[in-house]
Chains A and B, each alone.
Chain A
Amino acid sequence: MNDTLPIEVTVNGRLRSFDVAVNHTLLEVLRDDLGLTGTKECCVVGECGACTVLVDGTPMNSCLMLAVEVDGSEVMTVEGLGLEGKLDRLQEAFLDEGAAQCGFCIPGQLMSAHALLAQNPHPTVEDVNEALAGNLCRCAGYQQIRAAVLAAVQGGGR
């Protein structure tokens, strides 16, 4: 069970080469090996979306991927949003709209929203509901989260 394999992966723009346990998920490796704890663990069965990260631009439940599967890929986590200490437009909009309450689901929501806007720069309300349907929020700030995504679109170039 403690077999390891070397992988090479770009995480938040930084190329890293290291060994991972073959039985460890991407979520475990991000949190436990790389210390990137912004990605959250909740259901571990791909239902809650708290662990959503982008793998080559596609939102994935990192609890359902083995870390060895991302060898050669680009992974982006919530820590990769924003540049040089400045929040990106989605993060700003989440603050403006009061979208983050307890905050535990927010990294996953942001990653799903980021992928949505990359693919569909002008989403409708239904598009947002659909794109974020895999990210549970028990504080149930869905309306604030949706408003934030739509506001980020309005804010455009910020």
Chain B
Amino acid sequence: MKAQGGVGAGAHRLGGIGRVTGAQLYVADIPVADALHVKLVTLDCAHARILSIDSAAAEQVPGVVFVMKPEDLPQPIPRFGPQYQDRPVMADGEVKYHGEVVAAVAAETKDAAEEGARLVKVEYEALPAIFTLEAALAPGAELVQDPSIRRPGPLTGTNVLSEYHFGWGDVDAVADEADIIVEHTYDWASQTQFAIEPHGCIAAPDSDGIIVWSSIQHPYQLQKTLAKVLGMPMSKVRVFAPDPGGAFGGKQHPKLEPLVAFMALRADRPVRLILTLEEAFQAVRSAGARMTVRTGINSDGTLVFQDFVDDFLVGAYGDTGDRISAKASFLSAGPYRTPAVRITSRAVLSHTTPCHPMRGFGIPQVTWARESNLDEAALAAGVDRLEIRLKNLVKYGEEHVPGDTPADGDWAQTVRKAASEIGWGTPLPKGQGRGIAIGVKSGPTTGLSYSTVRFLGDGSVLVFSGTSDMGQGARTIYAQIAAEELGVPLAHVSVVMGDTSVVPYDQQTSASRSSVLMGNAVLNACRDIQRKLRARVAEMEGIDESSITLDRGVMRLPDREEAIPAVLKKVLGPMGGEVVGNGEARKDALPEHPLGGTALFFEFNCTAVDVAVDTETGATTILKHVTVGDVGLALNPVQVTGQDEGAAVMGVGLSLMEHLIWDGEGRTRNLGAIDYRIPTSKDLPLELVSFSVENADGPGPYGVKGISEGSLLCTAPAVAAAVRDACGAVIRDLPLSPERVWRAIQEQS
């Protein structure tokens, strides 16, 4: 297991040594000479009209170089965003959420910047804030966004950013056929990604261009955004993307980088902004949701229809709120064979922090509602909760959403494994309960990744990949693929990432895509090298190319077999040099598809838990937690287990303890690590086990699928079901805090 090697080896992480010695440079560790330090100025309110900004006192602080105010930016203030270009570089006349930046101080030292920021005087008129779905959707509600920045359409005069209708069959027509109909509303709290590394960026003017360092997941998107807001060609914007210290979706898109870039250009010096954890909480969050689900079944548990209304509370700017609501809701009905499904999905604007995805891209939210409601239907019908799932689960190759990619795995195998590992159906002591739930998520619906691989003269390899290695271990995977294909030791492969001027384009690092898409690009680049070697060998030996075959590190000629590195040496000859290969992997858009493209693959997970509930305190202890994922193939089993268990523990946090709390005026009350709890080593399930189903049936190299989100997709419904099974407490809003569980116990007794 510990051997260094190619595909399937539990190889050491590339970059691991830097991570255990402290040598790994995260953005805040990068020394940039002569840099000014930035401190942000924000207001203690969620919604306000800015009347004046007085920076005179701040500018008197020794070391303060300047104070950047909205009027110092190009007018009108440039706006940007991944889906909607509605987010201003700095608050534009109004603060729209708690923490939106109104000014920024640049100073020679951090101390001076902080002192300056304290002395910037902002006069403002506090305005009522909208921070709940009810308030945002109330008739006559104040509009969070001025219609002038909205896309023209029927929703422009409302707080609904986007609305989608998906489905098939006729729910109303078949509803009468159902023996049992269960309808409930489920709430998922807004949460925060809480990467241990707070976001940071540094910008430095560079001749007629700019260099920006950012702990970002999508460096090429940042490059494009900066080029647009700064009015520079993309070739003049160089983004360095050092490995993020965790991201979980929260570092996908640009946020404060445009402001820092404008400040660097103004200063004509490097400028650095490293957020505090509190500021990181105010820079991004996940989308809370309220979902009303109506499930109709026959008395034997066969699904007749599923009906969903999914409302996502997104922030003051569009960000990815629209896409999260659409992509997640599209799979509301899950992996089941349901004759009629109706889904309405809305993203609702509010005076709150803009939303990025968070590990699962909204699927944990809809899964919480669907799986919980399915359990309630099963209980009403007296059907076993495992049986109802197996009965309705689509088979391999069967469509669960008509017109989309059919089931791409033997999903029943995954479910049966989880059930068997938790001992489903065996008796439990009093006070304990079991839950089981299924999560399924579409992988990317479009994608484009390029890789260049350089096979150097000594047989070592440089892989160029635009993926961000934020903990998932992408670098290691690509090196393993190159080692396998070119027949070289893993220790002779290096992977170059994080420089948009050197490394070819990659669309993004998200949706557990990188092993599949960039993995295929690396594989194709290695095979490009193999083909070039073959062409040259054929020429040198005077034989036909078609008589030579290539296979994982080996070239087979009519009369012999040679290792690829030996072939390289011969081909290069005394002059040396190198062979360069290019690879591409794409998932094309499908304009007529409701999501713009079918799923490249599905992440499929079944989670089963066994819990004990303390009825005196309401505290839940997870005694055993089983997660089983259909991973296609584990390229690196150690990394697969790490990602799968990690997502499971995050899922436990989201289920039991995590939620952002807004006060009566829409200000976030629990900013930071003291008041927002995430799991520690003492919050682990007493036993946590992860299993992989490997049938080598994915679209990635050697049959791999994406894996990094699977095990948190359905943690919450599994845990809540187990709590109910243990003590009868029915809870439909997260998290399952001891207080909520205790109150639910009191209510039923």
Interface residues, chain A, CB within 8 Å of chain B?
1-2, 21, 23, 28, 31-32, 35-45, 47-48, 50, 77-79, 81-82, 87, 91, 94-107, 110, 128-130, 132-146
Contact = CB atoms under 8 A, between A and B. Distances in A.
Residue of A47, A102, A105, A139 with most partner-chain B CB within 10 A: A102
Nearest to A82: B21
B21 A91 contact: yes
Interface stretch (B51-59, B238-246, B508-516, B613-621): B238-246
Interface in B620-674: 638-639, 641-643, 645-650, 653, 672-674
A39 to B, nearest CB: 7
Given A39-B22, A129-B684, A143-B688, A101 B276 contact: no
B193 to A, nearest CB: 8
Interface string B675-708: 0001111101000100000000000000000000
B244 A98 contact: no
Interface stretch (B257-265, B469-477, B565-573, B601-609): B469-477
Nearest to A37: B29
A104 B12 CA distance: 17
B629 to A, nearest CB: 16
Interface in B8-41: 10, 12-13, 15-26, 28-29, 31
A27 B367 CA distance: 42
28 contacts: A21-B111, A37-B25, A37-B28, A41-B274, A42-B197, A42-B198, A43-B674, A78-B21, A79-B22, A94-B16, A97-B638, A98-B10, A100-B13, A102-B245, A103-B16, A103-B19, A103-B245, A104-B26, A104-B245, A106-B20, A128-B681, A129-B684, A132-B681, A140-B649, A140-B650, A141-B646, A142-B684, A144-B645
Nearest to B114: A1
B196 A142 contact: no
B2 interface: yes
Interface string B116-138: 00000000000000000000000
Contacts of A96: 2, 12
B171 interface: no
Q: Name which of A77, A133, A136, A140 has the most chain B CB atoms within 10 A of its CB.
A: A140
B214 to A, nearest CB: 15
A1 B649 contact: no
Interface string B473-507: 10000000000000000000000000000000000
A103 B18 contact: yes
B115 interface: yes
A96 B9 CA distance: 12
- Nearest 4 pairs between A and B by C-beta? A38-B22, A104-B245, A103-B19, A102-B471
Contacts of A135: 680-681
A82 to B, nearest CB: 7
A82 B539 CA distance: 52
Contacts of A32: 110
A22 to B, nearest CB: 11
Contact of B681 (A82, A102, A133): A133
B196 A140 contact: no
- The dominant DSSP class at the B interface is loop
A100 B16 contact: yes
Interface in B448-487: 470-473
B175 interface: no
B642 A102 contact: no
A106 B698 CA distance: 33
A83 B96 CA distance: 53
A35 B21 CA distance: 14
B471 A78 contact: no
A47 B673 contact: yes
Contact of A98 (B193, B639, B674): B639
Nearest to A81: B21
A28 B13 CA distance: 30
B248 interface: yes
Nearest to B24: A103
A68 to B, nearest CB: 15
A32 B645 CA distance: 35
Contacts of B111: 1-2, 21, 23
B381 interface: no
Contacts of B244: 102
B194 interface: yes
A95 B24 CA distance: 14
B28 A138 contact: no
Given A43-B674, A96-B2, 14 more contacts: A41-B198, A79-B21, A87-B20, A98-B639, A99-B642, A100-B20, A101-B646, A102-B195, A102-B470, A104-B196, A104-B245, A139-B646, A140-B645, A140-B649
Contacts of A39: 22
Contacts of A41: 28, 198, 274
A41 B22 CA distance: 13
Contacts of A102: 195-197, 243-247, 470-471
Contact of B22 (A37, A95, A144): A37
A50 B280 CA distance: 16
Contacts of B638: 97-98
A42 B277 contact: yes
B645 A141 contact: yes
A47 B674 contact: yes
A138 B678 contact: yes
A137 B25 CA distance: 18
A28 B25 CA distance: 16
Nearest to A111: B22
Interface in B532-583: none
Contacts of A100: 13, 16, 19-20
Contacts of A142: 649, 679-681, 684
Contacts of A136: 196, 673, 678, 680
A78 to B, nearest CB: 4
Interface in B691-734: none
B392 to A, nearest CB: 32
Contacts of B674: 43, 45, 47
Contacts of A44: 276-277
A95 B195 contact: no
A96 to B, nearest CB: 6
Most A Cβ at <10 Å: residue of B2, B10, B682:
B682
A47 to B, nearest CB: 4
A138 B650 contact: yes
The winner among B198, B648, B650 for most chain A CB atoms within 10 A is: B198
B729 to A, nearest CB: 26
